[in-house]
Amino acid sequence: MPKSPRRVNGGDQKSKNFLKPSLIKMRKKTKLDKQNQKLLVLWAADCAEHVLPYFEKEYPKDDRPRKAIEAGRAWARENITTGEARTAALAAHAAARETDNIAARAAARSAGHAAATAHVASHAVHAANYALAAVEADERRRGGAEHSNVKCQEEREWQCRRLPKHLRNRLDKSHAYKSI
């Protein structure tokens, strides 16, 4: 089945200008035990929840991204299965596809990746990157392109403070998870 014409290299064509390649990525051959994967899920959920207002402001009745964040946290508490978290992740991504608002779309994708981290740990960095994309898109929409770099840096620092220190060396970044 061919990919949707809106999809380019796994991302939305409309938001690709706002996604900087590999802002954060997992180091190759990173193996995590389940406890550390749970910590990454919780961190990814925090990152997604921090930008969720960009989605909820536009779509207050659509709770799929919020439910995905909740599913990630429920998985970390061992209250749901990986399959249930994955289903919630896919629903959040469906919500993202249904909006033309770039910040809302990025926030919903962040939520989807947060829940998907229960399935594959490397989704955590995508949750963080989409959260950054949501901040940048909102700033650009407001006409503050020059201010968006400051806001993105503040968001990165916020993310860094929440990432457990012992996991920072597992991430390879262009922003300083190791130094904070």
Supply the pLDDT for residue 141. 83
In a domain, 67, yes or no: yes
In a domain, 27, yes or no: no
Residues of the chain with pLDDT under 70: 1-31, 144-147, 171-180
As for how many domains the chain has, the answer is 1
Q: What's the pLDDT tens digit per position in 118-170?
A: 999 989 999 999 999 999 999 888 876 666 778 888 999 999 999 998 888 77
pTM of the model: 0.80
Q: Is the dihedral of CA 13, 16, 128, 61 positive or negative?
A: negative
In a domain, 11, yes or no: no
In a domain, 8, yes or no: no
Supply the pLDDT for residue 54. 97
Structural domain including 121 reads 32-173
CA gyration radius, the chain: 15
Q: Which two tokens stand for residue 22?
A: 């590999």
**Which residues face 26 on adjacent strands?**
171
